[in-house]
Amino acid sequence: MSLLLEAMSNPLDPGYALAAQRRTPRGRSSIMITLLLALLAGLLATVAAAHLRPDGGQVRTQRMRLEQEIERRTRLVDQRQKANEALRAQIARIQEQALQGGSGAALAARARELGLVSGELPVTGPGLRYTIADAPSATAVGQDPRDTDTSQGQVLDRDLQIIVNGLWAAGAEAIAINGERLTTLSAIRSAGQAILVDFRPLVPPYVVEAIGDPAHLQAGFASDMAGAYVQSLRDNYGIQVSVSSQRSLTLPGAGSLVLRSAHPPVTSPAPSGSPTRSTPAPAVTP
C-alpha cells in the first residue's frame, strides 16, 4: 500500500527530476543571452539606418542647387537661341543685298521661298490654333492612358502626332507646337513623363498652331481620321481640346537644316558623243 501511495504522490522518477533541475538554469541563461543578442542587433540596425539615411537639409540644398543649375542652363540656351536667330536674320539680309540686281534677285527670291517651305525662316499668316490639355482627373504618371484606368486623361506623344499629321493632310503650310517649328526632320516622341519635339521638352497645355486657310483646314481636319480621333479623346478620356480660328499667326523659324547623309547626285563626265547619266554620290556618315 505504501508503494502505491509513493507512486501516486511522486510519479516522476528522481533521476528525471534531477535532470530537469539541472537544465532549468541553463535554459534561463539561454533566453537571457538570446534577448541580449536581439537587443544588440536592433541597436546596430538603428545606428546603421541613422547613418545611411540622408540628411533632410542636405537633400534640400542639393535639390535647390540642381534646380538653379537647370534654370541657369535653360536661360543660357534661350539666349544662344535668340543670338542664333539674330545672326540668321543678319545673314539673310546680307545675302539679299549681295544678290541685288540681275539674276541675283531671282536667286534671292528662290532662296527665301525655299527657306519658308523648309521651315528655316519664320512665317506669318492666318490659320488654326489647337489647345490640348490633360483631363482634370488625369494623373501625371508615365503610363499608357489607353491601357490604365488611373491616367486615361493624359495627353501622349502619339496624340500630338495624329493631330499634326491631320493638319498636314488638311493642307497646313507651317506648323509649330508650343513655339517649336516642325520640319521634315522633326520628331515628336516621349521621354518618361515629358513630350519632346526635336529633343526639347514641352510643357502642357500643348498649343498646336497651323498656318493655312482656316475654313479649309478645319473642314479637312474634321473629315480626316484625325478629327474622329480628337473627338474620341474628348468623349472617352476627357482630354480638353479647343480650336480657334486666327487671323494672323507668327511661327518661328527652325534654323538651318543640316543634312549629314543626303547629297545631290553627281553627274559623271562622259566621252564626247555618248549619253550622260547621273550617279548618286556615296552616303557619308559623320
Q: How do residues 189-208 score in pLDDT, each as one tens digit?
A: 988 888 999 888 888 899 99
212 φ/ψ sector (left φ>0, alpha ψ -120 to 50, else beta): left
Cell of 239: 482630354
3-class secondary structure, 240: strand
C-alpha distance from residue 229 to each of 10, 11, 146, 268 (Å): 92, 90, 13, 50
What integer is the mean pLDDT of 39-65? 78
Closest-CA residue to 239 (of 168, 173, 166, 155): 155
Question: Is residue 177 scored above 70 in pLDDT?
Answer: yes
Instruction: Look up residue 86 and give its amino acid.
Output: A
Of the ranges 12-26, 157-171, 206-220, 248-262, which one carries the lowest mean pLDDT score?
12-26
- How high is the pLDDT of residue 136? 86
- Grid cell for residue 175: 506648323
213: CB partners within 8 A, 6+ apart: 126, 171
- The model carries a pTM of 0.60
Is the pLDDT at 47 greater than 60, yes or no?
yes
Mean pLDDT of the residues in the chain: 79
Burial category of 79 from C-beta neighbours within 10 Å (exposed 0-12, middle 13-18, buried 19 and up): exposed
- Per mean pLDDT, which range of 33-47, 144-158, 226-240, 248-262 is the poorest? 144-158
pLDDT for residue 121 is more than 60? yes
Classify strands 278-279 and 266-267 as parallel, antiparallel or unpaired.
Answer: antiparallel
